[in-house]
Structure 1
Amino acid sequence: RSYLIMRLMLIWIILLRMPPTSEMETFAEIDLSAIRTNVKAIRSYIDPAKVIAVIKADAYGHGAIPVARILADDVMMFAVATVDEAIELRQAEIHHPILILYNVLPHLIEKAVIQKITLTVSEAELPKALSKIAQRKNRDIKIHVNINTGMNRDGAQCNQAVGFLQWLNTLPGIMVEGVFTHFATADKITNTELDQQLYRFNSVIDKLDRLNLLPTIVHAANSSAMLKRKDTHFDAVRIGLTLFGLNPLVGTQDFLPLQSALEWKTRVISTEEISVGEGISYGFTYRAERPIHIATARIGYADGYSRLLSNTGIALIGGKTRKLAGQVCMDVSVFEVDNSVNIGDEVVLIGWQGNYHIDAAQMAKKIGTITYEILTGISKRVPRIYRD
């Protein structure tokens, strides 16, 4: 209890040292209470399955350490992409089980084992190395097995998976704790490919069960599959996007309300009036067709605001939707406004301002990408401010 109090005091000291958002030029504001609300709603929906919280890529740009702390009481395990991501959590005294979702390179194996990080295996060399370490350290090492049911990115081939797990169970010191697959098309309207992958996965699971080799944790569902198909839940769902209040599917918000946890904001740093025919920003890709007022905001591609938004992006300024004029620069972008906008005014890139709202999905659609890329692309130059 005393340790927890000390940690909370440290967080408050850090927050007190941060300037108020009214003094910051550009920042992302993270609502931790929204993340807590989301995970509890998800837990209720998937019960009795558990949650494996995917917090790779700095928790999709939300901050892995604060997010892990807020989720700890509601999830069975965290999942990340790299050994460095896992070690960052361990160094922050996150003691929950942590699963690395992909094969790791040989020189990183011992590093992961020392930190009691669970590794994913899909071929023979990694578990052989782990078995040698386990015998040397006289301890069991937990692993999860990735089965390729059709995504063809990685994983043990379906037709070899049962034999592979039989062999793994003969290796000294190796404890096969989990088995999983990953769906390639769960976010699509049609279920043909998902049905095919699920059929293949169930076939492997059934064979393992008959051989008394079924691991204790079977997981397959990402956020999309979790929302649309309860037959993908198994022992645990492996989710990221929905934890942060973003719905990858259309039409599911009614039965599982989610609260968006991130708002991305900046401020107007200058205003100006432009005459007819004047160009704006690099290359003069925008020219004024009439006299207009412009506002320069302190946001650019070095902050993760994509250059592809040039001449197409929007922001909320002064309670209205404003269009981006010209090229996004490294540090600043220019928006067409009116004379009511002043230096210091708030610019909302993602979030609410009055009755208007912009979400990450809208931004992604404008540049032909996905919500995940928008969120993970917000650079470390943008400070994260946490509210609870």
Structure 2
Amino acid sequence: MRLMPIWIILPRMLPTSEMETFAEVNLSAIRANVKAIRSYINPAQIIAVIKADAYGHGAIPVSRILAGDVMMFAVATVGEAIELRQAGIHHPILILYNVLPHLIEKAVIQKITLTVSETELPKALSKIAQQENRDIKIHVNINTGMNRDGVQCNQAVGFLQWLNTLPGIMIEGVFTHFATADKIANTELDQQLHRFNLIIDKLDRLNLLPTIVHTANSSAMLKRKDTHSDAVRIGLTLFGLNPLVGTQDFLPLQSALTWKTRVISTGKIGVGEGISYGLTYKAKKPIHIATARIGYADGYSRLLSNTGIALIGGTPRKLIGQVCMDVSVFKVDNSVNIGDEVVLIGSQGNHHIDADQIAKKTGTITYEILTGISKRVPRIYRD
């Protein structure tokens, strides 16, 4: 029996005035941040880290506005890199980690720069380079103390000497990654930088120094100019979020993401009545409540149960009861109505909530809050 085709019609995105939950990304703020960073790090260049969908901001829209202002993009996976290529992004892209053998050819076809720290990957790349009669660019990751990946310090110079003998391999860059750059007192960073600089000096004397040396993440970029090298490899600061305390005065950053939802129902409960699963909140007096269309399936952590704060009607409102999959309940007053805006990250009236505040309440870091905002939450772009 012949099956008839099934046509799926996708609805157009609603205007923000009709959306229940959405994240708004200010592209002008990202541009302003990049301008401020470029001025601060000059003459170093920017390697823009846009892995994890540009930290939840949207890798494709972000890469489109940044291509003219950054040296290259950096991502975590071949899939992330190919997604950019398929969107028409032709700017250089670096994958920060070793890739599995079955993905090598896919990356090479898309002219994606790979990171190496062991022997099998560069051998495979050299073979492809010879078959295609072209050079393939690589970056070398050196483990100076992060102890996650990378070639060991005592093997690094010999490894680059060996790489230099492989036909078709062009060693474009060399880098390391700091384990404790966000700490204020930082002997570990000093030690890592010292180990790395010893290797760089040896490579320079042997005339093996690649053209791009990069060490600084956002934290190191802000507080240690001696880490800037040829390029800084940054993500969080692009989006206006500062991983350090006390640096705002000399590098103004504009937060690019606002997360909003709306009140979908209101009501009242009496003394002793509970809220949500488990009835973990019990009212000590009659209160007004507002249910907002935000839950853990949207990336709003269940750890915010009975502790979260949102802005409704220009006032901070406490989350009461458990965060559910799709909704959460807030303690309000009788001025709150169905359809009212609820700000989870951003400003309303004279109040502001940032991702770092949510991270502290949930015992995590800003990065996890941003990357955890789920695909179910539409991203709206303003310029």
Residue-by-residue CA offset, 1:300-326 (whole Å, 9 max, x unaligned)? 000000001100100000110000000
Of the three residues 257, 275, 279, the one matched with 2:274 is 279
Q: What amino acid sits opposite 1:254 in the alignment?
A: D
Q: Give the whole-Å Cα distance in 2 for the aligned partners of 1:344 and 1:299.
A: 13
Q: Give the whole-Å Cα distance in 1 for the aligned partners of 2:252 and 2:312.
A: 28
Q: Give the whole-Å Cα distance in 1 for the aligned partners of 2:93 and 2:51.
A: 11
Q: Give the whole-Å Cα distance in 2 for the aligned partners of 1:372 and 1:111.
A: 29
Q: Give the whole-Å Cα distance in 1 for the aligned partners of 2:28 and 2:379.
A: 15
| SS of structure 2 residue aligned to 1:74 | coil
Q: CA deviation at 1:22?
A: 1.1
The two structures have a TM-score, normalised by structure 2, of 0.97
Q: What amino acid sits opposite 1:149 in the alignment?
A: T
Residue 317 of structure 1 pairs with residue 299 of structure 2: no
Residue 219 of structure 1 pairs with residue 214 of structure 2: yes
Residue 298 of structure 1 pairs with residue 286 of structure 2: no
Which residue pairs with 1:205 in the alignment? 200
Q: CA deviation at 1:18?
A: 3.4
Of the three residues 368, 375, 380, the one matched with 1:373 is 368
Which residue pairs with 2:3 in the alignment? none
Map of 1:218-367 to 2, 5 A cutoff? 218-367=213-362
Which residue pairs with 2:134 in the alignment? 139
Of the three residues 108, 115, 118, the one matched with 2:113 is 118
Identity of aligned residues (%): 90
Q: What amino acid sits opposite 1:78 in the alignment?
A: F
| SS of structure 2 residue aligned to 1:363 | helix
Residue-by-residue CA offset, 1:45-87 (whole Å, 9 max, x unaligned)? 0000000000000000000000001111110000000000000
Q: What amino acid sits opposite 1:295 in the alignment?
A: A
Q: What amino acid sits opposite 1:282 in the alignment?
A: Y
Of the three residues 25, 37, 40, the one matched with 1:30 is 25
| SS of structure 2 residue aligned to 1:243 | helix
Residue-by-residue CA offset, 1:180-219 (whole Å, 9 max, x unaligned)? 0000000001110000000000000000000000000000
Q: CA deviation at 1:338?
A: 0.4
| SS of structure 2 residue aligned to 1:213 | coil
Q: Give the whole-Å Cα distance in 2 for the aligned partners of 1:305 and 1:100.
A: 29
Q: Give the whole-Å Cα distance in 2 for the aligned partners of 1:170 and 1:33.
A: 46
Q: Give the whole-Å Cα distance in 1 for the aligned partners of 2:266 and 2:291.
A: 6
Q: Give the whole-Å Cα distance in 2 for the aligned partners of 1:335 and 1:191.
A: 41
| SS of structure 2 residue aligned to 1:271 | strand
Map of 1:84-233 to 2, 5 A cutoff? 84-233=79-228
Structure 1 unaligned segments of length 5 or more: list them: 1-16
Which residue pairs with 2:43 in the alignment? 48
Q: CA deviation at 1:19?
A: 2.3
Q: Give the whole-Å Cα distance in 2 for the aligned partners of 1:242 and 1:96.
A: 20
Structure 2 unaligned segments of length 5 or more: list them: 1-11
Q: Give the whole-Å Cα distance in 2 for the aligned partners of 1:155 and 1:138.
A: 28
Q: Give the whole-Å Cα distance in 1 for the aligned partners of 2:98 and 2:13.
A: 39
| SS of structure 1 residue aligned to 2:68 | helix
Q: Give the whole-Å Cα distance in 2 for the aligned partners of 1:129 and 1:19.
A: 48
Q: Give the whole-Å Cα distance in 1 for the aligned partners of 2:106 and 2:291.
A: 47
| SS of structure 1 residue aligned to 2:24 | strand
| SS of structure 1 residue aligned to 2:142 | strand
Map of 1:69-84 to 2, 5 A cutoff? 69-84=64-79
Residue-by-residue CA offset, 1:265-289 (whole Å, 9 max, x unaligned)? 0000000101000010000111101
Q: Give the whole-Å Cα distance in 1 for the aligned partners of 2:19 and 2:70.
A: 34
| SS of structure 2 residue aligned to 1:335 | strand
Q: Give the whole-Å Cα distance in 1 for the aligned partners of 2:76 and 2:16.
A: 32
Q: CA deviation at 1:358?
A: 0.1
| SS of structure 2 residue aligned to 1:73 | coil
Q: Give the whole-Å Cα distance in 2 for the aligned partners of 1:214 and 1:74.
A: 25
**Which has the higher mean CA deviation after the structures are superposed, 68-77 or 18-27?**
18-27
Q: Give the whole-Å Cα distance in 2 for the aligned partners of 1:179 and 1:269.
A: 52
| SS of structure 1 residue aligned to 2:67 | helix
Q: CA deviation at 1:257?
A: 0.1
Q: Give the whole-Å Cα distance in 2 for the aligned partners of 1:290 and 1:190.
A: 48
Q: CA RMSD in A?
A: 0.8
Q: CA deviation at 1:41?
A: 0.5
| SS of structure 2 residue aligned to 1:329 | coil
Q: What amino acid sits opposite 1:163 in the alignment?
A: G
Q: Give the whole-Å Cα distance in 1 for the aligned partners of 2:361 and 2:314.
A: 21
Q: Give the whole-Å Cα distance in 2 for the aligned partners of 1:18 and 1:267.
A: 17
Which residue pairs with 2:53 in the alignment? 58
Residue-by-residue CA offset, 1:8-34 (whole Å, 9 max, x unaligned)? xxxxxxxxx532211100000000000
Q: What amino acid sits opposite 1:275 in the alignment?
A: G
Q: What amino acid sits opposite 1:300 in the alignment?
A: G
